[in-house]
Amino acid sequence: MFLSMNWISDFVDLTGLDKMELIRRFSLSTAEVENDIFHKGSDISGIVVAEIKEVADHPESKKLHLLKVDAGDGQLTDVVCGAPNVRVGMKTAFAKVGAKIGEIEIAPRPLAGFTSYGMCCSEKEIGISDDHAGIMEILDDAPCGTDIKELYEIDDIIFEVDNKSLTNRPDLWGHYGIAREFAALAGRELKPLDCADLAKYNSLPKVDMKIEDNLCQRYSCIQVENITKNVSPVNMRIRLFYCGMRGINLLADLTNYLMLEMGQPMHAFDSRKVEKLRIKRFDAPFMFTTLDAVERSIDENTLMICNDNTPVAIAGIMGGLDSEIVEDTTTLTLESATFDAVSIRKSTVRLAHRTDASMRYEKCLDPEMTVPAIARFIKILTDIDSDVKVVSSLTDEYAVKYDTVNLAFDKKFVDRYTGIEISNDTIVKTLKSLGFDAELSGDEFSVTVPSWRATKDVTIKADIIEEITRIYGYDNFDIHTAKAPLYPVRADLEKTVEDKVKDILVKRYSLHELHSYVWAYYDEYKALGINVEENIKLVNATNPNIETIRKSIVPTQLCQVKYNTGYATDFGVFEIGRVVNGLNDNNLCDEHKMLAVTLFSKTKTVEELYFDLANMLAVLADDIKHNELTFEKTEATHSYQHLKNLNKIFCGEKLIGEIGVVHPLVSKKIDKKASIVYAEIDMADFAEIENASIVYSEPSRYPEMDIDISFVSDMYAPIGNAIKAEECPLIKNVSVVDTYTDEAGKSITVRITFSHPERTLTKEETMAVVDSIVERLEKSGISMKK
């Protein structure tokens, strides 16, 4: 919204104050002002009122005329002018030699064989309107030679406020409300609005108007007649133009002027079209043509202004084509009303049409404003056109009132909230300057919120704090730290585990951490041959490709791997992110935080890579939890899982995740030759594992004995179990030193390390244990390798 300092100065005396500084303070205390501030008229000088005394045709050019102009300097000036509207006796804005218009300095100028000693200006050239059809016609009485800037308010400072920062300040959508803020900031008095005394017209008949719907909070109207003047005063047009509106005709300009001045939108109807003014909604949808000749579909939730049962305008948004003021309109019904903000907002969305008026109605306007707006309108109108007659009394129906908001608080409350020293006097003064009724009794304040702030903005005590402090200025705050007792902060277990996992994977295994979206991608998954699992869906996804929430990170991660196959021959990625595993018994999402890791290699075999990954996970469990993992073969249930090499991961009894080779169909789509393996672990389950503590065991001072035995067996597990079952305290360590496959099958060589803390062991003792183990295994069908 554009604002004019001249207009603001109508209501508060700012002489002697630094206007730019005030605007800066306004930006900090009230609403954001855009960076560009326009000093209108600063680039104009030397333009005066002049009368065209003679007009002669140019001998050669049809468009050009040779003028003799009286610029009030005792002589007639020769001017060549190409405007179509020149005529003798016409007064215009004349730029003398030496005048400046923007970058141009006016000098004598040869034009088609004649010299022009000056330029007659159009309004556009002066910058006061868009009109460039002809030179400006000055109708006001002013002697020739009067500087046009003295005649009209061309000099002005215009600044723009970001509308978004006005969302909760319905009182700031007009210059008067803005002036109130400036008055409070400058410590100057706010002048009252000059309005007509409407009581004068009380004896006149009322307008036949009735509110038939509680979506209209207040409706005020009056009828006027005999508007003969059609052109608005220049200063009014200038202000409207500077504030971004185009001058149309007196009536339209006046309603716009009121809207920009008080923030109250108004509308004028041809009185014949609203003989029985009714405000209501209809039961069934219908078509309606608005002012702009567009046919719109109106539903049963849209409030309409009607003439009895005929819709005449969409309330708060736009008038109908039929209700327009036409040539032979003599009597007008002027509307000044307040409508339910939510309903207006919904209607503008439904109709996909927003206007300056509807924008304001959406903000919860103060219904107390409707009558003063009419009074102000009448005052300005009658000042401009004294022939205008008011032909009805003020007709006002106030259907829905806002409650008065009274707030009470004590000085302690203010001190505590603000943390600064601010005197009672300052508090009362500031609040009063903003229109609040503030009374102090002892240390207790009682405040009544003015109607224009009470519609939704100021409702609780904390809101009053904001009023006091923003005018006080946050720059003026003496800032200091809060003092709080010291307590050690306990780290969250899951978070600690998560950080450790990331550190190990990045630093020790050189994996790369990625993030991905929380939904499954139909197209991308399909391209890899992966099905999207049925799962809870988004209701308002922007595109059906992403409407299902993912149950696992792995498929998305595989897509990411595909995207990166050119990055390196070997790499690994991981993500700690969230998935939703359907709904639980309470119909709520079963959300899990998962760690997903995928390794990709063009140089290693799948077997090597699979063991790499398994070892990586074992290191995580060992390093973070001092615990071991066990793996159990499991059945594939997803399309990306290999049917043969897929294992559940356990830590003790607890299932924490799975590890698998990627299904060849999927793997080949990612890369024809690469080995790709993945694992996914539930972070909460992993974090919950009891941390086995490290127990120091003193190494024996006596030599250890290593015995290697080879067994023929596909799996290590039975061998390991047999050794464990021996429960021999002399066994210090067991490791697999070799695996070998030949015609006899697969054989595994284990090395058992024996040790005694107090003496050297004998061969007999250790062999006895070995024999026992061998016997155990023979019983389950596993024999030593010959």
Specify the residue, 276 or 416, whose C-beta has the smaller distance to another protein.
416
Q: Quick one: which of 416, 526, 633, 724 contacts another protein (CB under 8 A)? A: 416
User: Are 313 and 304 contacting, i.e. CB atoms less than 8 angstroms apart?
Assistant: yes
Q: Give least dist CB 417 to another protein, A.
A: 6
x/- string (CB under 8 A) for another protein, residues 155-184? ----------x-xx----------------
Q: Is 510 in the site for another protein (CB under 8 A)?
A: yes
Q: Is 747 in the site for another protein (CB under 8 A)?
A: no
Residue 576: which of 530, 518, 524, 645 has the closest Cα?
Answer: 518
For residues 558-595, one letter each, b for 16 or more C-beta atoms within 10 angstroms of the residue's C-beta and e for the rest, the string is bbbbbeebeeeebbbbbbbbebbbeeeeeeebeebbbb
Count Cα atoms within 13 angstroms, Cβ side, for 500. Answer: 18
Q: Is 490 in the site for another protein (CB under 8 A)?
A: yes
Residue 240 structure tokens: 């409207």
Residue 723: which of 651, 775, 688 has the closest Cα?
Answer: 775
Q: Give least dist CB 45 to another protein, A.
A: 28
Positions 583 through 612 that interact with another protein (CB under 8 A): 583, 587-589, 591
Specify the residue, 514 or 614, whose C-beta has the smaller distance to another protein.
514
Q: Give least dist CB 28 to another protein, A.
A: 5
Specify the residue, 557 or 675, whose C-beta has the smaller distance to another protein.
557
x/- string (CB under 8 A) for another protein, residues 420-459? x---------------------------------------
Specify the residue, 202 or 481, whose C-beta has the smaller distance to another protein.
481
Q: Is 540 in the site for another protein (CB under 8 A)?
A: yes
Residue 263: which of 185, 193, 189 has the closest Cα?
Answer: 193
Q: Give least dist CB 621 to another protein, A.
A: 19
Specify the residue, 6 or 557, whose C-beta has the smaller distance to another protein.
557
Q: Quick one: which of 284, 293, 484, 694 contacts another protein (CB under 8 A)? A: 484
Q: Is 476 in the site for another protein (CB under 8 A)?
A: no
Q: Give least dist CB 720 to another protein, A.
A: 32
Specify the residue, 181 or 335, whose C-beta has the smaller distance to another protein.
181
Residue 193 CB: number of other CB atoms within 10 A?
16
Q: Quick one: which of 35, 309, 423, 637 contacts another protein (CB under 8 A)? A: 35
Specify the residue, 76 or 420, whose C-beta has the smaller distance to another protein.
420
Residue 46 structure tokens: 């030397």
Q: Is 502 in the site for another protein (CB under 8 A)?
A: yes
Rounded Cα gap, residues 78 and 113, in angstroms: 13
Specify the residue, 128 or 599, whose C-beta has the smaller distance to another protein.
599
Q: Give least dist CB 102 to another protein, A.
A: 23
Specify the residue, 473 or 699, whose C-beta has the smaller distance to another protein.
473
Residue 38: which of 160, 166, 150, 176 has the closest Cα?
Answer: 160
Q: Is 500 in the site for another protein (CB under 8 A)?
A: no
- Beta-carbon contacts of 235 under 8 Å, excluding residues fewer than 6 positions away, are 152, 153
Specify the residue, 405 or 782, whose C-beta has the smaller distance to another protein.
405
Q: Is 249 in the site for another protein (CB under 8 A)?
A: no
Q: Is 460 in the site for another protein (CB under 8 A)?
A: yes
Q: Give least dist CB 536 to another protein, A.
A: 5
Q: Which stretch binds another protein (CB under 8 A): 76-84, 207-215, 297-305, 463-471?
A: 463-471
- Phi/psi region, residue 452 (left: phi>0; alpha: psi -120 to 50; beta: rest), is alpha
Q: Is 710 in the site for another protein (CB under 8 A)?
A: no
Q: Give least dist CB 338 to another protein, A.
A: 21
Residue 286 CB: number of other CB atoms within 10 A?
14
Q: Is 352 in the site for another protein (CB under 8 A)?
A: no
Strands laid side by side in the 444-448 sheet: 406-410, 444-448, 437-441
Residue 99: which of 117, 112, 115, 77 has the closest Cα?
Answer: 117
Q: Which stretch binds another protein (CB under 8 A): 72-80, 396-404, 413-421, 708-716?
A: 413-421
Specify the residue, 40 or 470, whose C-beta has the smaller distance to another protein.
470
- Beta-carbon contacts of 65 under 8 Å, excluding residues fewer than 6 positions away, are 55, 56, 57, 58, 80, 81, 82, 83, 86
Structural Rg of the chain based on CA atoms: 43
Q: Give least dist CB 201 to another protein, A.
A: 41
Rounded Cα gap, residues 449 and 472, in angstroms: 19
Q: Quick one: which of 539, 637, 701, 764 contacts another protein (CB under 8 A)? A: 539
- Kindly list the distances between the CA atom of residue 258 and the CA atoms of 261, 455, 677, in Å, as whole numbers in the listed order: 5, 21, 72
Specify the residue, 85 or 424, whose C-beta has the smaller distance to another protein.
424
Specify the residue, 203 or 540, whose C-beta has the smaller distance to another protein.
540
Residue 487 structure tokens: 């307590």
Rounded Cα gap, residues 601 and 37, in angstroms: 61
Q: Quick one: which of 394, 505, 681, 752 contacts another protein (CB under 8 A)? A: 505
**What SS3 string covers 57-83?**
ECCCCCCCEEEEEECCCCCEEEEEECC
Q: Give least dist CB 434 to another protein, A.
A: 13
For residues 300-318, one letter each, b for 16 or more C-beta atoms within 10 angstroms of the residue's C-beta and e for the rest, the string is eebbbbbbeeebbbbbbbb
Span between the terminal Cα atoms of the chain, in Å: 95
Residue 153: which of 92, 230, 72, 237 has the closest Cα?
Answer: 237
**What SS3 string covers 398-411?**
ECCCCCCCEEEEEH
Specify the residue, 287 or 482, whose C-beta has the smaller distance to another protein.
482
β-strand partners of 313: 305, 319
Q: Quick one: which of 4, 9, 29, 343 contacts another protein (CB under 8 A)? A: 29
Q: Quick one: which of 130, 143, 249, 517 contacts another protein (CB under 8 A)? A: 517
* The dihedral sign for the CA sequence 687, 688, 689, 694: positive
Specify the residue, 293 or 539, whose C-beta has the smaller distance to another protein.
539
Q: Quick one: which of 352, 482, 694, 695 contacts another protein (CB under 8 A)? A: 482
Positions 99 through 158 that interact with another protein (CB under 8 A): none
Instruction: Decide the pairing of beta strands 209-211 and 277-280.
Output: parallel
Number of chain positions touching another protein (CB under 8 A): 81
Q: Quick one: which of 17, 76, 195, 518 contacts another protein (CB under 8 A)? A: 518
User: Are 159 and 3 contacting, i.e. CB atoms less than 8 angstroms apart?
Assistant: yes
Positions 548 through 577 that interact with another protein (CB under 8 A): 549, 559-560, 563-564, 567-568, 571-573
Q: Quick one: which of 21, 499, 523, 714 contacts another protein (CB under 8 A)? A: 499
Specify the residue, 476 or 741, whose C-beta has the smaller distance to another protein.
476
Q: Quick one: which of 102, 442, 485, 781 contacts another protein (CB under 8 A)? A: 485
Specify the residue, 56 or 489, whose C-beta has the smaller distance to another protein.
489
User: Are 33 and 21 contacting, i.e. CB atoms less than 8 angstroms apart?
Assistant: no
Q: Quick one: which of 60, 141, 197, 475 contacts another protein (CB under 8 A)? A: 475
Instruction: Decide the pairing of beta strands 266-270 and 389-390.
Output: unpaired
| DSSP-assigned states of every residue in 441-480 | ETTEEEEE--GGGTTTT--SHHHHHHHHHHHH-GGG----
Q: Quick one: which of 100, 229, 578, 751 contacts another protein (CB under 8 A)? A: 578
Q: Give least dist CB 478 to another protein, A.
A: 7
Instruction: Decide the pairing of beta strands 104-105 and 91-101.
Output: antiparallel
Q: Quick one: which of 429, 512, 626, 638 contacts another protein (CB under 8 A)? A: 512
